Amino acid sequence: MNSALERPSPRTVLASSTLLGSLAPEQIDALLEHSRLAQAGRGEVIWMDGSEASYLGIVGTGFVKMVRSSAGGQELTAEIMGPGQSFGLLGAIEGTGCPLSARAVSAVWYLRVPKTDFLALYGGNLPLRDHLIRRTTLRLRGAIDMMSRMASGRVEHRIAAVLIQLAESYGVEEADGAMRLEVPLSRQDLAELAGTTVETTIRITSRWTKQGVLKAQYRSLTIQNLGRLLEILGD
């Protein structure tokens, strides 16, 4: 991925935010005053769990996975954050260390919004607080489900779990009922998210394509049979 060509503007990233994009223009201007774009390379750790972060991040391009290490040392993906999604919210609001590690799946551009600026806005904005509480509850449930699915030893389960979560965040239903993922996704991205090799990912997704479960194109996927992916998780 040539991330230099895909460098977004801070305003574009903030406007795309599912959490902050609907703020009033003057509020967006206030947040942009001290916010800065940052870049992380594929596999780079943005922060470790328990560390103090002075900002919350909003993904501009690429993917960030939020992970937790099990007692046995296994790294479990709890959340997948793509364009427009925020990470580090709980640490910013509660003033505690980040509960999950953040790792770049692909080359990533993300916006660093200073925690102090966000908290100043958050404290006096009741609609934002209500929205965040509802969103956090849904994300917590989703993270628990995701870690449970990713704990499976079967690669098929993990790839299916990743595709289902991406469909929930970025899926656009087409006329025939298929779910098109409106986000660039390479096989290497998918492999990193599922914790497996590119070769294994290609083999499994190619089989699912032949079976009519997926429709694969360059850097994009369409889920043609979401029900079958759910069945695979239950196998």
Determine the structural domain holding residue 122 and report its residue range: 10-150
Burial 190-201 (b: 16+ CB within 10 A, else e): bbbbbbbeeeeb
Residue 230 belongs to a domain with what CATH number? 1.10.10.10
126-150 vs 115-123: helix axis angle to the nearest 10?
120
| Sites in the chain below the pLDDT cut of 70 | 1-5, 70-74, 133-153
Residues 100 and 193 in one domain: no
Asked if 136 and 85 count as a contact pair (C-beta separation under 8 A), the reply is: no
pLDDT of the residue at 137: 61
Residues 77 and 139 in one domain: yes
Residues 190 and 227 in one domain: yes
Structural domains of the chain, count: 2
Give a yes or no: residue 4 inside a domain: no
Asked if 148 and 157 count as a contact pair (C-beta separation under 8 A), the reply is: no
Residues 49 and 84 in one domain: yes
Residues 138 and 174 in one domain: no
Residues 118 and 185 in one domain: no
pLDDT of the residue at 4: 46
Give a yes or no: residue 5 inside a domain: no
From 106, 134, 150, the end of a domain falls on: 150
pLDDT of the residue at 194: 86
